[in-house]
């Protein structure tokens, strides 16, 4: 007989981790290689995979604890050097557990640097923010001349599958893109004990616990045809309470609200199959880990 496993609210204080990971992808005679992989603590990559051939490396970020507890500080630095191409994903959802009474911050920092004529696809699974967590999620993306980027972040506020809302706690989430040193896009969300109006209002989360953001670019010129194609996907998407597609400067930005993470993942994955050929000139190739 199968029974639902209990979901922990907190983790023992002696399991606190301060971990870092540095990855370097370089293009050489044999294609893109994971030339550098340094880490401390339980945050690492075992090896690169090449389902698309030698010129594009796929890597899976592994974090065996499965989530952050109070005091955890996870730092990732990913460098894709000139002409190299990398696809980064995770085997499962990330988590920020309920904070301990000391309310120490749970902090994850992602520094993504894409050098001249390189490409990075940043496609992690969703992050679950447990009720009463105190989390900060920072993603900084640096794009050099000729660099291209496709990425998404999907965030679940609370545990919707268990009917547990994010009514108490704090989330500070920030994402910004710099292109040749200049900020071209910045997203900032700061929630402290979110109000009923914010959770339910039309200008807020519309009673949807899962929000998603996807960004692709830079494109050249007006992308009305591309946006129209993506809106066809939007109209056929199921399970979304809200979605939006806009062009912001040279970047295409997609947003979603839903009651579960799966509709957001499907929406973004389908959009990726359209955006990837247009931006990178190659068909979509899903990481094998997604099928397990």
12 lies in some domain? no
* Residue 54 belongs to domain spanning: 17-291
3-state secondary structure of 278: helix
Name the E strands within 115-270: 119-123, 127-129, 134-143, 148-159, 164-165, 170-179, 182-192, 210-217, 240-248, 251-258
DSSP secondary structure letter of residue 269: H
**pLDDT per residue over 161-181, tens digit each?**
888 989 899 999 999 999 999
Report the pLDDT value the prediction gives residue 200, as an integer from 0 to 100: 74
What is the DSSP secondary structure assignment for residue 182, as one 8-state letter? Answer: E
Whether 8 is covered by a domain: the verdict is no
> Over the stretch 200-222, which tens digit does the pLDDT of each residue have?
777 778 889 999 999 999 999 89
What's residue 217's pLDDT?
98
Lowest mean pLDDT among 91-95, 235-239, 241-245: 235-239
- Is 204 part of a structural domain of the chain? yes
- The pTM of the full predicted model, rounded to 2 decimals, is 0.92
Query: 11 pLDDT exceeds 70?
Result: no
In whole angstroms, what is the distance from residue 136 CA to residue 153 CA? 14
Average pLDDT over residues 227-232: 93
- For the chain, the residue count is 292
Q: What is the mean pLDDT of the chain?
A: 92
Residue 9 is assigned to a structural domain of this protein: no
Task: Give the Cα separation of 80 and 136 in Å (integer).
Answer: 25
Q: Is the pLDDT of residue 46 over 80?
A: yes
**For position 15, what pLDDT does the model report?**
57
| Percentage of the chain exceeding pLDDT 70 | 94
Is residue 169 in some structural domain? Answer: yes
pLDDT tens-digit series, residues 195-205: 767 777 777 78
In a domain, 216, yes or no: yes
Cα dihedral 235/240/242/245 (nearest 10): -50
pLDDT digits (tens, 9 = 90+) for 146-158: 999 999 999 999 9
| CA distance linking residue 245 with residue 29, whole number of Å | 39
In this structure, of 7-11, 111-115, 116-120, the range with the lowest mean pLDDT score is 7-11
Q: With contact defined as beta carbons under 8 Å apart, do 23 and 89 qualify?
A: no
**Which of the pair, 244 or 198, is modelled with greater confidence?**
244
pLDDT tens digits along 268-284: 999 999 999 999 999 99
Within a domain: 149: yes
Residue 56 has pLDDT above 90, yes or no: yes
pLDDT band at 29 (very low <50, low <70, confident <90, very high): very high
Q: Which residues pair with 292 in a beta bridge?
A: none
Domain total for the chain?
1
Question: Cα-flanking dihedrals φ and ψ of residue 186, to 5°?
Answer: -145, 130
**Residue 2 forms part of a structural domain:** no
* Predicted local confidence at residue 148, as pLDDT: 99
């Amino acid at each position: 007989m199968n029974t639902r496993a209990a979901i922990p609210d907190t983790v023992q204080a002696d399991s606190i981790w301060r971990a870092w990971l540095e990855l370097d992808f370089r293009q050489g005679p044999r294609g893109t290689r994971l030339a550098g992989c340094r880490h401390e603590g339980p945050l690492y990559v075992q090896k690169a995979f090449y389902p698309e051939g030698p010129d594009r490396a796929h890597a899976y970020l592994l974090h065996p604890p499965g989530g952050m507890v109070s005091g955890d500080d996870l730092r990732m630095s990913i460098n894709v050097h000139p002409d190299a191409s990398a696809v980064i994903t995770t085997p499962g959802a990330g988590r920020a557990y309920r904070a301990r009474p000391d309310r120490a911050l749970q902090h994850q920092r992602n520094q993504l640097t894409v050098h001249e004529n390189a490409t990075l696809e940043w496609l992690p699974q969703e992050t679950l923010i447990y009720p009463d967590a105190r989390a900060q999620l920072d993603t900084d993306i640096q794009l050099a001349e000729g660099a291209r980027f496709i990425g998404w972040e999907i965030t679940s506020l609370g545990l919707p599958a268990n009917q547990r809302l994010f009514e108490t706690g704090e989330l500070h989430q920030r994402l910004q893109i710099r292109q040749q040193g200049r900020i071209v896009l910045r997203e900032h969300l700061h929630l402290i004990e979110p109000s009923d109006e914010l959770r339910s209002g039309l200008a807020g989360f519309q009673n949807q616990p899962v929000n998603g953001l996807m960004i692709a670019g830079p494109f050249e010129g007006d992308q009305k045809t591309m946006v129209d194609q993506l809106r066809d996907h939007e109209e056929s998407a199921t399970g979304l309470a809200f979605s939006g597609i806009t062009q912001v400067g040279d970047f295409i930005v997609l947003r979603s609200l839903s009651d579960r993470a799966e509709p957001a993942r499907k929406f973004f994955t389908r959009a990726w199959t359209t955006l990837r050929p247009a931006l990178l000139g190659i068909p979509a190739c899903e990481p094998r880990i997604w099928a397990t």
